[in-house]
Amino acid sequence: MSLIIYTLAAFVEIAGCFSFWAWLREGRSPFWLFPGCASLVAFAWLLTLINTNAAGRSYAAYGGIYIAVALFWLWSVEGVQPDRADYIGVALCLAGTAVILLSPHNT
């Protein structure tokens, strides 16, 4: 379930941040900020659904998922094909996420 929540959180976080990018860098209407802010609120709420006793651990594990989704966004929304270094980097990040999520923790 954590993987689904993290993936949804990544999509809504990227969408929220992209709304600011579109407004400031691409000259889009400031009205892009309303759904963008709502997306960022949804992102924060989704991360609270992760079953862990430490917010920092939840955020650390989320980082790898975020990077993978960001590269998917790069390709699917922005039309830029990730390169070999992107794929290697995301594989390393997902390995770190797996260690954090799947390891037994003392607290």
Predicted local distance difference test score (pLDDT) of residue 17: 95
pLDDT band at 103 (very low <50, low <70, confident <90, very high): confident
Predicted local distance difference test score (pLDDT) of residue 36: 96
pLDDT tens digits, 58-79? 888 889 999 999 999 999 999 9
Q: State in Å, rounded, how far the first CA of the chain is from the last one.
A: 21
Predicted local distance difference test score (pLDDT) of residue 101: 84
Residues 89, 63 contacting (CB under 8 angstroms): no
pLDDT tens digits, 10-42? 999 999 999 999 999 999 999 999 999 999 999
